[in-house]
Chains A and B, each alone.
Chain A
Amino acid sequence: MSQDFIIECENVKFSYAGSQAYALNGVSLKVKRGEFLSVIGHNGSGKSTFARLLNGLLEADEGKITVLGLDVSDSKNVVEIRKHVGIVFQNPDNQMVASIVEDDIAFGPENIGVEREEIGRRIDWALKAVGMEKYRESTPTRLSGGQKQRIAVAGVLAIKPDVLILDESTAMLDPKGRREVIEVVKRLNKEEGMTIILITHFMEEALLADRAIVMNRGEIAIEGTPEEIFESGEILETYNLSLPRISILSQKLRGAGMRIDNVLQPEKLANQIVANMQNKGIYGGQSSKPDKIAINEQGEWDIDVKDLVFTYSKKSPFATKALNGINLHISEGEFFGIIGHTGSGKSTLVQHFNALIKLPQAEKKYKAKKPKKGQLNPVISSIFVGQFDLGNKKCDWRALRSQVGMVFQYPEYQLFAESVFADVAFGLKNFKKDISAEELEQAVRESIEVVGLDYNEIKDKSPFDLSGGQKRRVAIAGVIVTKPHILILDEPAAGLDPKGKNEIMELLHKLHREWCKTVIIVSHDMDEVAENCTKAAVISNGSVFACDAPYKIFARSSELNALGLDVPLTSKIAAQLETQGYIIESDCTLSDFAEKVIEVYSGGKTNAQ
């Protein structure tokens, strides 16, 4: 053994009980002290299994793993090894044991018998390392995803490990939370010299490391520096991975003859574009305007919201205002995006659309209050969805809900029936009690097929035996089976790998074309909204900040940043280029933006179409 290598693996093989295939099939790897290593791979490539083997949560079938010279397979070493190798898992909620932040962080040190005063010092240090000093006495449930995950990191840091493994710890977070966690990890590596193993399916994260490994089917497919991984380009697609958006953009620009190196920061790409322009003698310029998107006329199934107010836990000391006077109109036929960060009230808002949250005047017990003398009449919220008046007690809620489908976040977690058929049929049977068996089968077949699954193969399977992506599709099928006019999805792509994300968005476009008139997605991913939506609304602090075509919204990038919201990659680069005198007006999608840049680069409007 040598002191340089903190972890050494030799031809490690592992298979799960009851499975023939190896989840890991001969992995050999050495990790240097102080190294920042990233492991990339699609879901099921064996990367999480690998993490669990490194600290003895799983035991290898073959091969040898040593950590600091200690053999992991020796059960006497396990606790000692876990002191040196800490893991942060995917779901921050499921790794905390206490309801107070400091108690939770104390859990690890308590387990290994650290003295009381020292635990106090370690809590101080760990919270400082993750930038959460202010939250020492908070309750984790009231924190955002990114904050919770930083607390989970602190909980592992307090054990003072030499190696920190992040097992897809950013997969469930919003872009802001992801950045927060990655910042912390980078700092720990640089300032504390901690060895980091970052397991992820986001290329842009993986490429921050000193060295990256691409895993596929339990084997190391590519190993090298981030630059080398970049170069491999199209091979990555065969491993179900995709290049970061910025690299795709760079490729497009290179295709037009620009000299662009692979970079990850939008500013650097913008600088390269500027350099290219100036080399060609183009100083300043303006692209053509984006095509006007047809404005939808008043349709039959418009959603109209006026002065919507909503308070959680009313009349308790914990009352919090979620919505503060929302005015919004969503026309029929839109692919509508609702943007806002966690806690902005966007989920609360959409739950009003199918009366999961009823307006107060629609509740059975509601009695109109007479305003006191000298007071104005209180503002009454109103919502209309097509012909349905959601403020009316006599509104037919059942009919409304069959026309406004709602897919919640992680919809696969609400599957319950013994077969896929029964689960998909559940909604339809609820809405149409007297439906005939043939009609039911017909509808279920159609909806399973439209989400891209094979009806005959899947209908009798238990939904719990399916893969993650299939489960999500079945859950969506279970909502669209009633053929709703309006389909609402809360974070439809949450937790998926990039390929899964693209597939789900493609599915939604297909549904928008063939199945439902209006599709509404709630999202915190600006790129997702820019690429897909025809119109979007930004919700901030319980009110509508803007409602317009995405490119018009993202043109106000400084205002959005002030609200703590991000803008898509294209807007970032466009803003940077504008300071140099190049005005690129695209509709914010990657392909349109690339076209417009190339248009300016090739000297104004060249295409004579």
Chain B
Amino acid sequence: MLNDVTFGQFYPAKSVVHRLDPRIKLLSLIAIIVLLFVANNFYSLALCAVIIFSAIIASQVPFKSVLRSVKAIIFILIFTAILNIFFHRGEHVFFEYGVIHITLEGIIFTVFLICRLFFLVMASSVLTLTTTPVALTDGIESLLKPLTLIKFPVHVLALIMSIALRFIPTLIDETNRIISAQKARGADFESGNIFKRIAAIVPILIPLLISAFRRADELGDAMDARCYTDSKKRTKYKKLKFGLRDLFTFFIFAAFIAGVVLFNIYCYDICPQIYEYIKVY
């Protein structure tokens, strides 16, 4: 059941992208996401594509692994595509029947939307494939640091994330063991109607919950024994290092942002031209 859940998506390699500071990777992803939705013409979108594909190539992660995450949203892609093609209104109508319209604007909008979602998922999977969950939480913690000024408990949040990460593999192992143990006692998780299946989960859930509480209890004691308090005097050992390659990435992204903005200003709507072009035929 859970055999295929390898924890996190991380793909081990030693590429430039792997070694980037997680903070710059997180910020870059945010930049890409914003730009994907700001991009209003094909040139901007193409520029985004260039950046994402060069990141994939630089990361040395096989393209297949990146596509695997796209697979997960393929249904949503098709669904939105159909909806948009048939129902998006516009002035250049190709076909009309009842509530259904197929318009040039609709088609172009759909293509844009699909590209955006597609690139978005690819860009985020580049992040998760090249960054360990631990590095990611370190990055998030560091980026959230300024929030301590408004008394947001950043280090508590970071500790919660860290403990969650630490216990996910342990609890997956435990779940697998309990499933096997109950299967060995003839429990059946794969057949029967939905109610039977839900009832079948009880023998897994209860031991798992009890064990999770027991672990939490013991962990609490262990943390207390290691002098954990909510004092402000806490120090932090791990410091992320912002290196040359991070600076370099920063400049690339600055250029990229500028590029998209410029394209947006000077090459805006290309829709009418296409229509003119089609009309000629």
- For chain A, residues 445 to 467, give those with C-beta under 8 angstroms from any C-beta of chain B: 464
Flag if A99 contacts B133 (CB, 8 Å).
Answer: yes
The CA of A413 and the CA of B221, in the complex, are separated in Å by 20
- For chain B, residues 85 to 122, give those with C-beta under 8 angstroms from any C-beta of chain A: none
Interface size class on chain A is 35 or more
CB-defined contacts of A414 to chain B, threshold 8 Å: 177-178, 181-182, 203, 207
The CA of A461 and the CA of B65, in the complex, are separated in Å by 52
Flag if B226 contacts A430 (CB, 8 Å).
Answer: no
B165 at the interface (CB under 8 A from A): yes
Stretch at the interface among A404-412, A496-504, A516-524, A593-601: A404-412
For A97, give its contact among B223, B229, B238 (CB under 8 Å): B223
- For chain B, residues 206 to 232, give those with C-beta under 8 angstroms from any C-beta of chain A: 206-207, 210-211, 214-215, 218-219, 221-229, 231
Flag if A103 contacts B134 (CB, 8 Å).
Answer: yes
Whether A110 touches B234, Cβ cut-off 8 Å, given contacts A57-B221, A97-B162, is yes
A358 CB, nearest partner CB in chain B, Å: 11
A260 at the interface (CB under 8 A from B): no
List the A residue with the shortest CB-CB distance to B211: A413
Flag if B235 contacts A119 (CB, 8 Å).
Answer: yes
A537 at the interface (CB under 8 A from B): no
- For chain B, residues 179 to 193, give those with C-beta under 8 angstroms from any C-beta of chain A: 180-188
Scoring B170, B180, B181, B210 by chain A CB atoms within 10 A of each residue's CB, the highest score goes to: B181
Whether A94 touches B218, Cβ cut-off 8 Å, given contacts A113-B235, A116-B235, A414-B207, is yes
Flag if B202 contacts A97 (CB, 8 Å).
Answer: no
Scoring B185, B204, B214 by chain A CB atoms within 10 A of each residue's CB, the highest score goes to: B185
A115 at the interface (CB under 8 A from B): yes
The CA of A597 and the CA of B227, in the complex, are separated in Å by 54
B11 at the interface (CB under 8 A from A): yes
List the A residue with the shortest CB-CB distance to B234: A110
The CA of A100 and the CA of B237, in the complex, are separated in Å by 13
Flag if A110 contacts B186 (CB, 8 Å).
Answer: no
Flag if A116 contacts B237 (CB, 8 Å).
Answer: yes
A441 CB, nearest partner CB in chain B, Å: 18
What count of chain B residues pass the 8 Å CB interface test?
Answer: 52
For A402, give its contact among B166, B186, B214 (CB under 8 Å): B186
The CA of A57 and the CA of B186, in the complex, are separated in Å by 42
For A95, give its contact among B134, B202, B218, B238 (CB under 8 Å): B218
Flag if B215 contacts A94 (CB, 8 Å).
Answer: yes
List the B residue with the shortest CB-CB distance to A103: B238
B124 CB, nearest partner CB in chain A, Å: 19
Whether A111 touches B229, Cβ cut-off 8 Å, given contacts A97-B219, A106-B238, A479-B185, is yes
The A interface is mostly helix, strand or loop, or mixed, namely: helix
Flag if A94 contacts B222 (CB, 8 Å).
Answer: yes
- For chain A, residues 294 to 323, give those with C-beta under 8 angstroms from any C-beta of chain B: 313, 316-318
B87 CB, nearest partner CB in chain A, Å: 39
The CA of A411 and the CA of B6, in the complex, are separated in Å by 25
A120 CB, nearest partner CB in chain B, Å: 7
B169 at the interface (CB under 8 A from A): yes
Whether A156 touches B226, Cβ cut-off 8 Å, given contacts A89-B218, A401-B183, is yes
0 or 1 for each of B8-32: is its CB under 8 Å from A? (1 = yes):
0001100000000000000000000
Flag if A79 contacts B229 (CB, 8 Å).
Answer: yes
A91 at the interface (CB under 8 A from B): yes
Whether A351 touches B134, Cβ cut-off 8 Å, given contacts A95-B222, A115-B235, A120-B237, is no
B275 CB, nearest partner CB in chain A, Å: 48
The CA of A86 and the CA of B226, in the complex, are separated in Å by 7
The CA of A603 and the CA of B188, in the complex, are separated in Å by 63
CB-defined contacts of B223 to chain A, threshold 8 Å: 97, 107
A431 at the interface (CB under 8 A from B): yes
For B234, give its contact among A111, A159, A398 (CB under 8 Å): A111
CB-defined contacts of B236 to chain A, threshold 8 Å: 110, 116
0 or 1 for each of A251-280: is its CB under 8 Å from B? (1 = yes):
000000000000000000000000000000
B83 at the interface (CB under 8 A from A): no
Flag if B237 contacts A110 (CB, 8 Å).
Answer: yes
For B239, give its contact among A111, A116, A155, A406 (CB under 8 Å): A116
**Which 9 residue pairs spanning A and B have beta carbons closest together?**
A430-B186, A95-B222, A427-B185, A106-B237, A113-B233, A94-B218, A416-B206, A406-B184, A108-B226
- Spell out A's residues near B (CB within 8 Å): 52, 55, 57, 79, 82-83, 86-87, 89-91, 93-100, 102-103, 106-116, 119-120, 123, 140-141, 152, 155-156, 159, 313, 316-318, 351, 354, 356, 398, 401-402, 405-406, 408-409, 411, 413-417, 426-427, 430-431, 464, 478-479, 482
A-B CB contact pairs (8 Å), 14 listed: A93-B215, A95-B222, A98-B134, A107-B223, A107-B226, A111-B229, A111-B231, A116-B235, A120-B237, A156-B225, A159-B226, A408-B184, A411-B181, A413-B211
Given A83-B227, A106-B237, A111-B234, 14 further pairs, Cβ under 8 A: A57-B225, A86-B225, A87-B225, A94-B219, A97-B162, A99-B165, A99-B166, A102-B237, A103-B237, A112-B227, A113-B231, A116-B235, A416-B202, A416-B204
